[in-house]
Homo-oligomer: A and B are copies of this chain.
Amino acid sequence: MSDETTPPPDAVTGTGADRTLHQRILSDIETRIVSGEWPPGHRLPFEVDLARRYGCARMTVNKVMTQLAKAGLVERRRKSGTFVAQPRAQAAILEIHDISREVEQTGLPYSYTIVAHAQHRATAAERARLDLDGSARVLAVTALHRAGPAPFCLEERLINLSAVPEAADADFSATAPGRWLVERVPWSAAEHRIHAASADASTAARLAVQPGTACLVVERRTWHNGGPITHATFTYPGERHSLVASFTPAGGG
């Protein structure tokens, strides 16, 4: 380290849009990792060195590193330094859009009908699905979503009335139950199960396909404050429909 003459303040500015310094440093390091220039296991320069290289304070580099570490791109060890992480089990992000949005992306007009709407005490099967005990009352709603004239998806939903009593009097003809719930119940957690199934007779009839047709089934369970809210089964007929999940290393960006 003999020449401390002119630390280039625009070491990264070449790419420079009007992004912030933080962003430029982040994407610079990210690029080196994702491109393989810094392969997994490689120790990257110390924070102080990077700070000098980018002509900034350590804190700035530190924050970038914190973010990269949280995104899983790097691993940090005190005293040893920061290392490019091994790209292990990738967690792809599955966008679960609104069905109406999903349909509209196909260019066809969206519509839906409520084909069943009943309120009763939960059966054993329903209690299991909703993770309820005792004899709570539930609302069972079945809706058929359409893309143009063709059935797009069959939604079979159970709503826990002790958690959302207002649902009993709700009018789902204008607002689909999914949207109605999302607008009412703040920040719920959800679990999705995705599997394939052959359409049984009644499902096939509603979806206007042959019985036995392979369908994609998405089950969604929703909680709020630890209590069950709703369980929904979405059945997509045939082999046309597909869910898309993507993974980008930089993703956390």
Contact surface of A with B, Cβ cutoff 8 Å: 33-36, 39-40, 70, 73, 84, 87-98, 101, 182, 186-198, 212-217, 224-225, 236, 238-249, 253
Contacts and interface: CB of A to CB of B under 8 A. Distances in A.
Contacts of A213: 198
A151 to B, nearest CB: 15
Nearest to A36: B186
A235 to B, nearest CB: 10
A40 B183 CA distance: 9
B190 A92 contact: yes
Contact of A191 (B186, B197, B238, B246): B246
Contacts of A97: 89
Given A40-B187, A214-B214, 8 more contacts: A89-B97, A90-B96, A91-B96, A92-B192, A93-B94, A189-B246, A194-B245, A245-B245
B90 A193 contact: no
Nearest to A223: B248
Nearest to A39: B186
Nearest to A63: B63
A196 B196 contact: yes
